[in-house]
Amino acid sequence: MKMSILNFIYNMTFVLIFRKCIIVGGISSRDSKLINVARKSNGAMCTRSSTFPTAKYNFECEFALKPFWIDYNDWAALCSNANCKQHWIEITFTKIYDVIEFCTTQRLVDPSSLMTAIKVTMGTNPTRIYHINILTTCLLLEDGDGSSSSKAKFEAESYMSGNTRNIGFNDISIFALENENVHNGDKLTNTAFKHVGASCSASSSRSTFECSEALDRDITKTWSPNCDVSDSLKGSCVNHYIDVALAFPAEPKLLCISNGHQFTNRIKTVRVEWSSGFNQTVNLPNADQIHCFNYTNSFGMEHGLKLTIMDVYIDKNVGFQYVSVFVKDSSKLIYLIQSENFVVYHLSPYVYQNFRAIKFQILGVNLGQTDDCSSFIIAFKSETSIQLTIKLNEIINNNKISSMEVTNQPSIQISSLPLFSCDDWKSFWLEMSESHITFGLGMEYGISRLATISSAISIKPRQILFKNGLSNIKNGVRVVDEDGIKLENFYHDCTNNEYYKAIDPHIYTCTPLKERNSLFHYKLSNGNGFRSNSTFSKVVLKKTDTLLGDFNVNIFIKLDNADGKLCKQQQTMIEKNSYFHFPFECEARSNKGLDNLHILIHIYELSDIPKLSLCDISVDF
């Protein structure tokens, strides 16, 4: 059986090689080298100017060294108004690092008490002032600003209101590119957060205690049902519920709940009914801290949950302060570019050894100025010098002009129309060969080409530099594909490839299969071809109707010109909520990299073809 599958794939590859199309995914192994040196779990420690105490809590600085899905608590200074500018937090690392970027998340408080700018000093390097967002801000550093750093200091610089009190941070992450054997853990996001699209309904709500308050980040707000066992008109709080629609379908990792901070009466037991039909019962202690529970249903795709109060400590004025559902976040960091000086994005060492392709996205920041959404400059720098520069929406004679230039060669115009805006993210891709560079718009390599330029030099970047061409603007950028991931599809029309959605970061974006046998070739363009000699892969399908027959998914690796090997399916296929989950482990021989995988999906019953969709192909190196 195995030989017949391999022979089929080889034959179809030979026959259809000239029909292949290429689409790009968003999975990168850069994070495996990016170490968060500010994590308490990685040995970081902190000191602070002061700590805001309350009757219940001390808002210690170490809370900012833990991700918010582990600890919702903040570091907060004891300060008010202009006095807050004197307060700081300093984080000490386990050793000296070359810091390359950092992210801050402000306190979970009313926006009027938040900062608009901070002063940051890495080690003994120059102090810089950065503007920050209400929630999370990620920033790249100028060359040298993070070098040889054993500590980092963060100070308040300006605020949203003159009545600011007790400024601080919920989370600070500081990154260095290292080869240490340190696992940062999964990055998670809250899909029950109302500001990303979650919504809710409830059995009842007291005035000003609506259910949406439990989906917010404000510590002063709570959902509370209209109940009181001593009041015959209101009745018991038991059996009251909140029903949450998640912002998007996903596989939960953690459910986090807390009782209302304002109340001394608390909920004891909660029944959780997930949209998949999976149920669990959780017990809360007689306290108002956040408590998190593992989601134990194997591969459960959820789009909502209902939380019902089953028991209480005192049967009146109870409620939920927070209801959070954390899922794995595979999206890339968004960097806020706010300077006319270049900041540095460091490519991973394995990538720049053979750099061929990259994809990034840009979004202008609307500050209410005429120059917004303009003048974004990207440069590709080798070990010694800038080799390629791309200027997008450069303002020339009141027009937004885009151009591309190889060093010491004439510049060519890419477009005389604006290529990005302040309304939504715009995607761009860049491909390089030994003699040509092609720049394009959109999600797919090779499609929607904007310009091709000949190059007399071989472009071998080690860094990507970003800056604004004007001092009064801000732009956001994220690198969404550093590995140059491509999927060759041997069955599809190259001019209209719908399968891209199957390898974006979202499992809920699916594409109906078109053929009885669908064959894909997953490969990495960048690097020397070696990531690991073992890897874990996953294919996810979804059915839209009852299937009459059966189907198969196989992954194999091609070790050399004449040999191939099927990847081992880790466990039997799991079906949940109409999704089919196929996990594989691939192993190569010694010194054989796994940068090429072939995926074959075979449907036995012809009438089932339009009922199956491909939702996800992911590879963890």
CATH code at position 43:
2.60.120.260
pLDDT exceeds cutoff 90 at 502: no
48-72: pLDDT as tens digits? 999 998 766 678 999 999 987 777 7
Tokens of 187: 């990055």
pLDDT band at residue 579 using 50, 70 and 90 as cut-offs: confident
Tell me whether residue 350 is in a domain: no
pLDDT exceeds cutoff 70 at 164: yes
Tell me whether residue 339 is in a domain: no
Exposed, middle or buried by CB within 10 Å (0-12, 13-18, 19+), for 569? middle
* pTM for the structure as a whole: 0.85
For residues 257 and 270, the answer to whether their CB atoms sit within 8 Å is yes
In the block, tokens 């799991």 appear at: 574
End-to-end CA distance of the chain: 28
DSSP 3-state of 11: helix
Tell me whether residue 333 is in a domain: no
How much is the pLDDT for 264? Answer: 83
Tokens of 17: 């090689």
Pick the range with the lowest mean pLDDT from 4-18, 304-318, 462-476, 513-527. 4-18
Do 382 and 472 belong together in one domain?
Answer: yes
Cα(336)–Cα(131) distance, integer angstroms: 9
Domain boundary among 482, 499, 519: 482
Residues pairing with 336 in the sheet: 476
How much is the pLDDT for 32? Answer: 42
Do 47 and 156 belong together in one domain?
Answer: yes
How much is the pLDDT for 493? Answer: 54
Phi and psi dihedrals of 164, rounded to 5?
-65, 140
How much is the pLDDT for 421? Answer: 95
Write out the E strands in 267-356.
267-274, 279-283, 291-294, 302-312, 320-328, 335-337, 343-346
Helix (H) or strand (E) holding 12: helix 2-16
Do 487 and 476 belong together in one domain?
Answer: no
Closest alpha carbon to 250 in 615, 619, 620: 615
pLDDT exceeds cutoff 50 at 31: no
Exposed, middle or buried by CB within 10 Å (0-12, 13-18, 19+), for 385? exposed
Cα(509)–Cα(244) distance, integer angstroms: 21
Pick the range with the lowest mean pLDDT from 150-164, 360-374, 553-567. 553-567
DSSP 3-state of 536: strand
105-144: pLDDT as tens digits? 998 777 778 999 999 999 999 999 999 998 889 999 999 9
In the block, tokens 């602070």 appear at: 48
Pick the range with the lowest mean pLDDT from 323-327, 337-341, 569-573. 569-573
Do 41 and 159 belong together in one domain?
Answer: yes
Cα(498)–Cα(48) distance, integer angstroms: 52
Tell me whether residue 319 is in a domain: yes
Backbone φ/ψ region at 595: left (φ over 0), alpha (ψ -120 to 50), beta: alpha
Closest alpha carbon to 166 in 62, 54, 289, 72: 54
Cα(49)–Cα(57) distance, integer angstroms: 17
Residue 499 or 198, more confident? 198
Tokens of 58: 């001390």
Do 535 and 615 belong together in one domain?
Answer: yes
Residue 425 or 30, more confident? 425
Do 474 and 495 belong together in one domain?
Answer: no
Cα(380)–Cα(460) distance, integer angstroms: 8
Tell me whether residue 543 is in a domain: yes
How much is the pLDDT for 574? Answer: 75
pLDDT band at residue 146 using 50, 70 and 90 as cut-offs: very high
pLDDT band at residue 590 using 50, 70 and 90 as cut-offs: low
Tell me whether residue 185 is in a domain: no
Share of the chain above pLDDT 70, in %: 88
190-235: pLDDT as tens digits? 999 998 889 999 999 999 999 999 998 777 789 999 999 998 889 9
Cα 226 off chain centre by:
38
Closest alpha carbon to 405 in 382, 384, 383, 386: 386
Do 588 and 492 belong together in one domain?
Answer: yes
Pseudo-torsion of CA 621, 518, 548, 569, nearest 10°? -30
**Residues whose CB falls within 8 Å of the CB of residue 514, separated by 6 or more in sequence, listed in order:** 491, 492, 609
Residue 291 or 535, more confident? 291
Do 197 and 320 belong together in one domain?
Answer: yes
Residue 522 or 479, more confident? 479
pLDDT exceeds cutoff 60 at 399: yes
Overall average pLDDT of the 231-252 stretch: 92
Domain boundary among 154, 178, 202: 178
Pseudo-torsion of CA 234, 236, 238, 239, nearest 10°? -40
In Å, how far are 118, 155, 465 from 128, measured between CA atoms? Answer: 8, 10, 18
Overall average pLDDT of the 480-502 stretch: 72
pLDDT exceeds cutoff 70 at 3: no
How much is the pLDDT for 338? Answer: 95
pLDDT band at residue 103 using 50, 70 and 90 as cut-offs: very high
Average pLDDT over the chain, rounded to an integer? 85
Do 10 and 68 belong together in one domain?
Answer: no
CATH number, domain at 458?
2.60.120.200
Domain boundary among 280, 306, 328: 328
Do 111 and 171 belong together in one domain?
Answer: yes
pLDDT exceeds cutoff 50 at 180: yes
Torsion sign across C-alpha atoms 425, 426, 429, 430:
negative
How much is the pLDDT for 147? Answer: 95
Pick the range with the lowest mean pLDDT from 14-23, 49-58, 63-72, 597-606. 14-23
Tell me whether residue 602 is in a domain: yes
Residue 560 or 537, more confident? 537
Q: How many domains is the chain built from?
A: 4
How much is the pLDDT for 119? Answer: 97
DSSP 3-state of 195: helix
Closest alpha carbon to 74 in 106, 111, 32, 27: 106
For residues 484 and 13, the answer to whether their CB atoms sit within 8 Å is no
In Å, how far are 510, 521, 545, 558 from 598, measured between CA atoms? Answer: 19, 5, 27, 8
How much is the pLDDT for 414? Answer: 95
Tell me whether residue 309 is in a domain: yes
Structural domain span for residue 611: 2-24+483-620
Do 42 and 80 belong together in one domain?
Answer: yes
DSSP 3-state of 421: coil
How much is the pLDDT for 354? Answer: 83
Do 157 and 233 belong together in one domain?
Answer: no
